[in-house]
Amino acid sequence: MARQNVSPKLHRNRGFTILEATVAMFTLLVCALIFAGTIPIANKSRGKAQNANVALSLAKKQLETLKHLGYANNIPSQLKASALIDSVTPVNMNTAIYYGPPGTMGYEFSNADDGVNDSAKKLLPNGRSFVRITNVNIDLKQVEVVVFWTEGSNNRFVKLSTRIANL
């Protein structure tokens, strides 16, 4: 049997050098740090989106319930009896949440929590919610629902409105 000569060149190219391994580890570390740096931003964005979804859901539920009550029952005493507002006394929304022009009045439903509608105070940071009902004409009411919350030092709100006719 003849002995085969192994070329020294082939023997050296079989593995990685320490420099190649170091560069690969450094690249992997940079990628891991970039990925780890995005996690807090993603969590903050997710929290903001969740608050907006909760507020929109609260406003939609309240508006649908008010539409279901009909034209005749959209008065403060009926809304209070149905546990849809906290009090029959209107609140100045401009003073309470800096919403609308001075003197904008609405009925707060931040604490109202029945089987259908949830409480904005329980579900949102500094959550407050209001209903404004205005008579557009003799057989038409404008119903506006505003859900307000804070994110850090920023005030956010969702506003939905509809008209209810006396049919």
d(CA 63, CA 102): 24
Give me the mean pLDDT over the 3-28 stretch: 73
Entry pTM: 0.75
Confidence of residue 117 (pLDDT cuts 50, 70, 90): low
DSSP letter at 5 equals P
Of 83, 85, 66, 56, which is closest to residue 149 (Cα–Cα)? 56
Confidence of residue 115 (pLDDT cuts 50, 70, 90): low
DSSP track, 142-166 = EEEEEEEEEETTEEEEEEEEEEEE-
Which residues does 65 contact at the CB level (< 8 Å), separation at least 6?
82, 84, 116, 117
pLDDT at 42 exceeding the cut of 60: yes
